């Protein structure tokens, strides 16, 4: 089969590989829609996970099941399925401890385009489909369904990590597709005031549609100072980080009230240390918390997030700015993610 792969750090190309084999607890799917992720760009062009050779990229897809193993109960060939980016081993000790995304070791639930071939191929392999896949609900366009693989679950997880409560004021640092889903999640979760930190007008406009109340441009100076100024020096209750770099935690900490929590979902592609400011941490006594996480996978979560779409509570299709048809455009779409033209939020490819 053909797939679009990372050949080595900084190098990509189309390769031929053997079609994956289906074990008794596996499924083989073909993608009917797929999307590239900013994470693919960290992996390929920053070498953030280390080197990979001839590894097929991509972890966001809606698929059609072509084969299932003898022990699979809930899916059969022909079913259209939502495919999460993270596909844990649900019987691992880490999953039993509540950290399925780290099953088998840190980040171990992230298999596609990390430890095994991803979805930018004619076929891809899914472990434990009963635990990991979800049926594509009637009424969700497969292109929109790709946003359930990673953008919605990750954006929502940022809000969970920040432990946001009703009435909290929050800042969302970074309003690409992930941060925009954090804005939407904060709004439906009951945030009182939502500061959206970005720079591009298009993303600011969509943040407003999803419920942001205040807009901060990180090119206009220190974002911590800008938010402190807008809150009479008090700061916000919680901060979600979905953009920036290892230095972003300095303003994130400074802009937070004592007792606040930073929920980070940003994939830190470079830099050896995450910086926290001494004084902003109350000289180490400010009850400020940092929590960073990989999105949880799992069928139940996919079904619940999908229900937010079918019930009309959230419309993630606003994120789709570029559409292509044909597997060969996995490459076009990934290069767009790398170059990030000003009008881009999320490209989607249907097949
Ligand atoms: P984008 O690159 O599309 O968006 C990044 C956002 O951060 C943009 O709004 C950008 O602004 C803003 N930004 C850039 N630099 C700064 C800065 N110095 N200070 C403040 N804001 C800044 O990324 P995505 O939304 O696609 O993804 C966000 C992150 O989430 C990525 O690192 C991705 O790899 C990661 N991720 C993590 C997952 C997880 O499970 N934890 C899963 C999926 C993705 P501008 O528009 O001006 O460029
Ligand atoms: Zn991703």
Instruction: Write the pLDDT tens digit of every residue in 240-276.
Output: 999 999 999 999 999 999 999 999 999 998 899 999 9
Mutating to test ligand 1, I would choose from 48, 174, 207, 244 the residue with most ligand atoms within 8 A of its C-beta, which is 174
Are residues 170 and 268 both part of a single domain?
yes
Rounded distance, CA 244 to CA 268, Å?
A: 8
Are residues 140 and 163 both part of a single domain?
no
Count of residues for the chain?
A: 351
Structure letter (DSSP) for residue 116: B
Q: CB neighbours (10 Å) of residue 274? A: 15
**CB-count burial class (<10 Å; 0-12, 13-18, 19+) for 145:** buried
Are residues 11 and 140 both part of a single domain?
yes
Q: Is the pLDDT of residue 288 over 90?
A: yes
In the reported structure, the alpha carbon of residue 162 is separated from the centroid of ligand 1 by a whole-number distance in angstroms of 17
| Token pair of 42 as six digits | 């960290």
Dump pLDDT digits (tens) for 74-111: 999 999 999 999 999 999 999 999 999 999 999 999 99
Distances 33 to 136, 151, 276 between C-alpha atoms, Å: 12, 15, 40
Give me the helices (H) in the chain, please. 38-45, 93-96, 129-132, 142-145, 151-161, 177-188, 201-210, 223-230, 249-254, 299-310, 329-339
Rounded distance, CA 116 to CA 30, Å?
A: 16
Range of the domain at 137: 2-150+295-350
| Token pair of 86 as six digits | 């993270």
What are φ and ψ of residue 346, in 5° steps? Answer: -145, 125
Q: What angle do CA 259, 178, 56 make, to 5 degrees?
A: 130
Dump pLDDT digits (tens) for 138-154: 999 999 999 999 999 99
What is residue 180's three-state secondary structure?
helix
What pLDDT sits at residue 48? 87
| Token pair of 9 as six digits | 């750090």
What pLDDT sits at residue 270? 87
255 CB within 6 A, ligand 1? no
What pLDDT sits at residue 269? 85
In the reported structure, the alpha carbon of residue 202 is separated from the centroid of ligand 2 by a whole-number distance in angstroms of 21
226 CB within 6 A, ligand 1? no
294 CB within 6 A, ligand 1? yes
Dump pLDDT digits (tens) for 197-240: 999 999 999 999 999 999 999 999 999 999 999 999 999 999 99
Task: Indicate which CATH number applies to the domain containing 194.
Answer: 3.40.50.720
Mutating to test ligand 1, I would choose from 176, 207, 291, 298 the residue with most ligand atoms within 8 A of its C-beta, which is 176
Rounded distance, CA 140 to CA 144, Å?
A: 7
Are residues 10 and 141 both part of a single domain?
yes
Judging by DSSP bridges, how do beta strands 60-68 and 26-35 pair with one another? antiparallel
Are residues 79 and 164 both part of a single domain?
no
Are residues 93 and 161 both part of a single domain?
no
242 CB within 6 A, ligand 1? yes
| Ligand index nearest the alpha carbon of residue 119 | 2
Mean pLDDT of 46-64: 95
Are residues 268 and 338 both part of a single domain?
no
Q: How many CA atoms lie within 13 A of 182 on its CB side?
A: 37
Sign of CA dihedral 154, 156, 157, 158: positive
Are residues 163 and 130 both part of a single domain?
no
Are residues 167 and 282 both part of a single domain?
yes
Are residues 247 and 282 both part of a single domain?
yes
Q: CB neighbours (10 Å) of residue 341? A: 9
Provide, rounded to the nearest whole percent, the portion of the chain with pLDDT above 70: 100
Q: Is the pLDDT of residue 121 over 90?
A: yes
Task: Indicate which CATH number applies to the domain containing 134.
Answer: 3.90.180.10
The protein residue with its alpha carbon nearest to ligand 1, atom 47, reads 199
Are residues 181 and 110 both part of a single domain?
no
What is residue 166's three-state secondary structure?
coil
Structure letter (DSSP) for residue 113: T
**CB-count burial class (<10 Å; 0-12, 13-18, 19+) for 109:** buried
**CB-count burial class (<10 Å; 0-12, 13-18, 19+) for 281:** middle
Q: How many CA atoms lie within 13 A of 348 on its CB side?
A: 25
Distances 146 to 59, 63, 205 between C-alpha atoms, Å: 9, 9, 22
| Token pair of 227 as six digits | 């938010």
- Domains contained in the chain, number: 2
What pLDDT sits at residue 320? 98
């Amino acid at each position: 089969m053909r797939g679009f792969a990372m050949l080595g750090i900084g190098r990509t190309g189309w390769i031929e590989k053997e079609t994956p084999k289906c074990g008794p607890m596996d499924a083989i799917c073909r993608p009917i829609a797929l999307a590239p992720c900013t994470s693919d760009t960290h992996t390929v062009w920053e070498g953030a996970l280390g080197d990979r050779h001839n590894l097929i990229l991509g972890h966001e897809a809606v698929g059609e099941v072509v084969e299932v193993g003898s022990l699979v109960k809930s899916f059969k060939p022909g079913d259209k399925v939502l495919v999460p980016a993270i596909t844990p081993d649900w019987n691992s000790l880490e999953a039993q401890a509540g950290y399925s995304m780290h099953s088998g070791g840190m980040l171990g639930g992230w298999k596609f385009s990390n430890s095994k071939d991803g979805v930018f191929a004619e076929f891809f392999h899914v472990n434990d489909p009963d635990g990991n896949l979800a049926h594509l609900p009637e009424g969700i366009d497969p292109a929109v369904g790709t946003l359930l693989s990673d953008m919605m679950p990750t954006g929502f997880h940022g809000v969970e990590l920040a432990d946001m409560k009703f009435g909290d004021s929050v800042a969302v640092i970074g309003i690409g597709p992930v941060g925009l889903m954090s804005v939407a999640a904060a709004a439906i979760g009951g945030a009182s005031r939502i500061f959206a930190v970005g720079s591009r007008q298009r993303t600011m406009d969509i943040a407003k549609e999803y419920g942001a109340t205040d807009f901060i441009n990180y090119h206009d100076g220190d974002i911590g100072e800008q938010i402190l100024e807008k809150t009479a020096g008090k700061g916000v209750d919680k901060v979600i980080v979905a953009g920036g770099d290892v230095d972003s935690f300095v303003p994130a900490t400074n802009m937070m009230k004592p007792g606040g929590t930073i929920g980070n979902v940003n994939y830190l592609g470079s830099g050896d240390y995450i910086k926290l400011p001494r004084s902003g941490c109350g000289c180490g006594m400010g009850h400020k918390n940092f929590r960073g996480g990989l999105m949880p996978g799992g069928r139940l979560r996919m079904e619940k997030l999908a229900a937010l779409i079918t019930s009309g509570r959230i419309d993630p299709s606003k994120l789709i700015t570029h559409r292509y048809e044909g597997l060969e455009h996995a490459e076009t779409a990934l290069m767009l993610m790398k170059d990030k033209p000003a009008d881009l939020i999320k490209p989607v490819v249907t097949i």
